Structure 1
Amino acid sequence: MLHKKHVIRASLLLFLIVLSLTSYRIVSFLQGSAAIEQEWKAYKPDPIVNFGSTKHLSILPLVNWHTDNGALKGEAGVSYLIKTDNNTILFDVGFNKNQESPSPLEHNMKQLAVTLDSIDTIFMSHAHLDHSGGQQWVNKNTFSIGLEQTDLAGKDIYAATHTTYPNNKVNVIPEATVIGPGIASLGAISRQLFLGRIEEQALVINVENKGLVFIVGCGHQTVPKILTRAQQIFNEDIYGIVGDLHYPIPEGRLSLLGINLQKYLASGEGPHNPISFETMDNELNMLQELGLRFIALGGHDTSDEAIEYFNTKFGDGYRHVKVGDWIEIAK
């Protein structure tokens, strides 16, 4: 009988602890969301005028959920190789969830004959584990291509928030900033997730005779805020979007203890109000009304069902994002 009472008390104590932590997280989420909305309304970005253009734009997915063939490794992470007239950019560095050596990024680069020597710029969209090479690097405010940090001497590195890298200067650019001919950061856009606050930047490339192409890492900013910020900063029309927009509908790719992390903790309005099909559909209609000519949606944080829905709606203007499959915007 005494043992039973101890079990009941311990269970009750555990319940109260979980309830208190959950309540604290909900309050923090609501307060953070309110603060970010106030910041968003008050912020007036400086416009960017005449930042040049590129005749050529090619994008090679190096890490994402789907692959072009069985020799390549897919995972719930992101990395793109981006080529313009003057620059070759590595956009994010994947997840390496299983802590492999070589990492999926390193493996795929070798398979696709991509060398670090060919890359002059590294652009980090945001400090989440699936874009930075793993949580151990995020905890240290850095990133890594593999299990150990590679020498990146001579490369320009850009991040939206405080980031360091051994023997390299990291250019922290929270504001919209030109980083090359026809290439700019949209600047950091804040979002309060249930997991915590995050600042994410998108890469913007002005393609001659077409318009602006946005490369998006996760889409935590949300489509409405990406479009609003773009219209505040740039005069050029938006031609297309390549990347991931965080539509884990009905489910995402990552789960822990039976909880779908991408759906309930990293999108929507928290566990009590996850992202819905209606929200996705409204944002898709927003893109169509804008006259978007091209979209390539990645699957690291977006379900196959959502990808197929975009494919159906955009038709010839849609491309699947697959590791190893070049996306040619302008040859």
Structure 2
Amino acid sequence: MPGSSRYQQGWGMVQVEEAYKYLQQMKTVATEDMYFEVYIDNQSVQPAGFTFGNQKSPRLFKRLPCWSWAMWSLPITVVKPLEVSRIIEQKNIELKPTEVARFFVVPPPGLGPKFEKPADPDSVAEPKDERTAKERIDEAVRDLRVEQLGKLTSTEKEKGDFKTLYGELEKEYPQHIPLLMARLKIGQGRPSASQEEQGYGKAEGLSGRCIARQAFAYAEMTTDDAKERFRKTLDALKAWVDIDSNGKYAGLALERDCRAGRHGLALKRINKLLAKTNGKDTGGVRPLTRADLIEKRVKIFEHLGYHVL
């Protein structure tokens, strides 16, 4: 059972070079000046090319060249596997006459595998600027124009200067994030901004309700294409409203969950609605009464194989 530059850990074979990494990860190295030693019971193992003493206790040790490819041969009488049981911290090891033990200790720095020290972030060179001189100048001018756009006075903004200048910049740099952020910042500060948001909210609610009614209509249809139309209508509704968080569309969310086979989620949603409404209907596009919710819950239980007594 020969072995070369390896040790057995349990029943698996591990490279000696890998042992160094393993011990580093386990933080079992006590000092930095530890060297690579092999303690062998000389009554059972005869290491080729090395001489060991004949004393029974304590066993002598011999320092081997680090990372050497020395070979060890084990006699046929040795049946139990060798294993690394612990890191040697003392040079004199007491072994029973029948024991076979092999121990490896990490060598001093510089003799083992080379581990590169992580680079200091401050010392890392910045990536080379591959832009041309024209590109650097153009981008500097763009950034300056956007910066000055955000510094317009309130009088200039009321005169419409911001809208005019923003339109010019938007044509040149439609996807420039700082420019878009400047537009949002200016828009939020205008007195008419809240009115526009309210108007948008009304339009959003109207569009959402119209699409939701269309989805309910497809849900009640039995034609072959009704299922696909229902799915596409829900996808269109996502652009206007979140039916999972908006209680006005609870009935639509229940229909979607049941169609998708998510009966547990549907039951959870029904129980939450029953507790929240406290006997009242859910309201919204198509209100659900308490009786409607209980009926839906009964149908789900029956679908799952449960029967209500």
TM-score computed with the length of structure 1 as normaliser: 0.17
Structure index of larger Rg: 2
TM-score computed with the length of structure 2 as normaliser: 0.17
The structure with more strand, counted as a fraction of residues: 1
The structure with more helix, counted as a fraction of residues: 2
